[in-house]
Structure 1
Amino acid sequence: MKRVLVTGAAGFLGSHLCDRFIKEGFYVIGMDNYITGDKKNLAHLANHPRFEFIKHDVTEFVEIEGNLDYILHFASPASPIDYLKIPIQTLKVGSLGTHNLLGLAKAKDARILIASTSEVYGDPLVHPQTEDYYGNVNTIGPRGVYDEAKRFQESITMAYHRFHGLETRIVRIFNTYGPRMRLNDGRVIPAFIGQALRGEDLTVFGDGLQTRSFCYVDDQVEGIYRLLLSDYAYPVNIGNPHEITIKDFAEEIIRLTGTKQKIVYKDLPQNDPLQRQPDISLAKKILNWEPKIDRAEGMKITYNYFKTLTKEELFKSEHKDFAQHIKK
């Protein structure tokens, strides 16, 4: 039986990856320190015979008994509110955590997939973004703690690949959504849906003409799974290339939820990317992958998930004024 370690297992993407590998017949070891993850995301696997959970911070030495075939490193704050509240931990998990897991992969002769992000492109000057674009990143800006953690993560991963001959994979993840997202984590989709469900006006930063491209979680997981099992060692964009402005998306949410709120505008946060759209030509070529679930279908599933949240969860605010927070 193949054994896989998933770090960040209690997070949004990590928990869906655990489900996928269980479905594929793997023995799954989930690891998380719950700094941003949620125990309820793994509750359904608690008694599964092919799942075990280890509470651990990967910035400390990581030891796993027995053999390992694969490691997926998804331990990292991923939302703006998280990495701006805990900037040092964000940098450490991208550097020390990645170093520890690369060392574990070397010791176990395991293949390791590193979760990178479209944020390595910063506020891009090339559109859409291809894997050979080096990016436009402010290293000392408020978002730099996340962007540079991920850029370093890619660099040290390629160093292990070239110097030690380690089997490595790097996925650059673009905006992903679906069930198990945290409602108030500062990302666009849960922020808009949360405001709609609470009867609040929808907050758009800037003029709303900045763009995003949203990929449903099942499509994202499929791309990650195919990349892990491929023979390609360099970064690959996995995301949905269908681009939409934030203003148009806010109007789409209002129609989806049937609410009567209006859109209100606030100042654009510092270094917030104005365009975000993946070029997925490489994923199509080497993985035979492209997203299958359109936004209307995926958003309906996601909205129905958020409607199941309790009133306490719905009205919990992780930060009252996100724009002011990231200007600090």
Structure 2
Amino acid sequence: MRKRILITGGAGFIGSHLCEKLLNEGNEVICVDNFFTGTKDNIKHLLGNPYFEVIRHDICFPLYVEVDEIYNLACPASPVHYQKDPVQTIKVSVIGSINMLGLAKRLKVKILQASTSEVYGDPEVHPQKEEYWGNVNPIGPRACYDEGKRCAETLFFDYYRQHNLPIRVVRIFNTYGPRMHPNDGRVVSNFIVQALKNEPITVYGDGSQTRSFCYVNDLVDGMIKMMNNSDNFTGPVNLGNPEEYRIIDLAEKIIDLSNSKSKIIFKPLPQDDPKRRRPDITLAKEKLNWEPKVPVEEGLKRTIEYFERLLKEGKIR
């Protein structure tokens, strides 16, 4: 039977891939976005589908629709965007979550929260397991996102305990792929755009800090498996690629894959930037039978092709 699924932040990078996958699986999808960081270009190829609907709406205000499931992805997710309007970032995580949880409660439907590895802050435990409580600076420049997402998790579990609401919480680690915002300040998109333009590649610190990179299709599969798990597993569960990359090695790989003439330059590390980030995905393997399948090199090639196309079309300045 065709499910009617609401996706907040559905015109964003991850949200648009989720819309596409759920439509391809035969569902009806309502994409809700205020287009603060999401773009119509991400979803224009879906607009001809009669089972796809777009609503321009800010979830800081209540929304009244009838649906069978809710995926809550609405929130700017890169430092450039969430620090541009930190108060709005906190509002969408907290007030937006309250509104979506209220909708789920009224409709008695499952709701999934797209949380983040940022809830671990600059971790003192490595790799990060779900039971680690994190090391977050509550008054720093990243706190609007880190603490906003931590509070959203609190709200989800309080609705679960107080109202018996069926919730799912996933903690998303660094994700990359086509439809990333070219100017979002994230390391993969930054490096690729700089490499394709043969500009100097900016590495913050000495490049020894690490990240793990999960291809977007793998992540979306994990989110759907989490929503559909039948044993009422609420999470939180880490979704990400457990392979750890030094930032300097990623820069060199992207230069190589894009045949770039770029040189690497070094700048000071931003405040509260985590030194190491890598998920322990034991729980996802055990509960969801999920792990990433797309190798980093293959995913980077696909992402580079996407940005090459944007450059040719004059969509990157």
Relative to the length of structure 1, the TM-score reads 0.94
Give the match for residue 86 of structure 2: 87
How far apart, CA to CA, are the structure 1 residues paired with 2:44 and 2:85? 26
How far apart, CA to CA, are the structure 2 residues paired with 1:144 and 1:46? 36
Asked if 2 retains the 8 angstrom alpha-carbon contact of 1:22 and 1:51, the reply is yes
How far apart, CA to CA, are the structure 2 residues paired with 1:186 and 1:86? 15
Give the match for residue 52 of structure 2: 51
Counterpart code for 1:249 = L
Counterpart code for 1:238 = L
Give the match for residue 12 of structure 1: 13
Backbone CA RMSD of aligned residues:
0.8
Give the match for residue 284 of structure 2: 283
Give the match for residue 214 of structure 1: 213
Counterpart code for 1:270 = Q
- Residues 266-291 of structure 1: CA distance to partner in whole angstroms, max 9, x if unpaired? 00000000000000000000000000
Give the match for residue 114 of structure 2: 115
How far apart, CA to CA, are the structure 1 residues paired with 2:310 and 2:234? 40
Asked if 2 retains the 8 angstrom alpha-carbon contact of 1:137 and 1:147, the reply is yes
1:263-282 alignment runs, 5 A limit = 263-282=264-283
Give the match for residue 250 of structure 1: 251
1:173-184 alignment runs, 5 A limit = 173-184=172-183
Give the match for residue 170 of structure 1: 169
Instruction: Report deviation, 1:259.
Output: 1.1
1:106 aligns with 2:108: no
How far apart, CA to CA, are the structure 1 residues paired with 2:131 and 2:289? 19
Instruction: Report deviation, 1:45.
Output: 1.1
Give the match for residue 127 of structure 2: 128
How far apart, CA to CA, are the structure 1 residues paired with 2:196 and 2:83? 25
Give the match for residue 324 of structure 1: none
- What SS is found at the alignment partner of 2:83? helix
Give the match for residue 192 of structure 1: 191
Asked if 2 retains the 8 angstrom alpha-carbon contact of 1:198 and 1:314, the reply is no
How far apart, CA to CA, are the structure 2 residues paired with 1:62 and 1:89? 18
- What SS is found at the alignment partner of 1:219? helix
Give the match for residue 314 of structure 1: 316
Give the match for residue 323 of structure 1: none
How far apart, CA to CA, are the structure 2 residues paired with 1:183 and 1:28? 26
- Residues 180-199 of structure 1: CA distance to partner in whole angstroms, max 9, x if unpaired? 00111100000000111122
Identity of aligned residues (%): 55
How far apart, CA to CA, are the structure 2 residues paired with 1:122 and 1:150? 11
- What SS is found at the alignment partner of 1:113? strand
- Residues 35-67 of structure 1: CA distance to partner in whole angstroms, max 9, x if unpaired? 111011110111211111111000011111x3x
Give the match for residue 296 of structure 1: 297
1:63 aligns with 2:64: yes
Alignment length, in residue pairs?
313
- What SS is found at the alignment partner of 2:270? coil
- What SS is found at the alignment partner of 1:130? coil
- What SS is found at the alignment partner of 1:271? coil
How far apart, CA to CA, are the structure 1 residues paired with 2:206 and 2:28? 48
Instruction: Report deviation, 1:144.
Output: 0.5
Counterpart code for 1:203 = T
Runs of 4+ residues over 4 Å off in structure 1: none
How far apart, CA to CA, are the structure 1 residues paired with 2:30 and 2:62? 16
Gaps of 5+ in 1: 316-328
How far apart, CA to CA, are the structure 2 residues paired with 1:32 and 1:109? 23
Relative to the length of structure 2, the TM-score reads 0.98
How far apart, CA to CA, are the structure 1 residues paired with 2:244 and 2:151? 28
Counterpart code for 2:110 = R
Asked if 2 retains the 8 angstrom alpha-carbon contact of 1:70 and 1:112, the reply is yes
Give the match for residue 147 of structure 2: 148
- Residues 242-262 of structure 1: CA distance to partner in whole angstroms, max 9, x if unpaired? 001001111111111111211
How far apart, CA to CA, are the structure 2 residues paired with 1:201 and 1:257? 14
Asked if 2 retains the 8 angstrom alpha-carbon contact of 1:13 and 1:217, the reply is yes
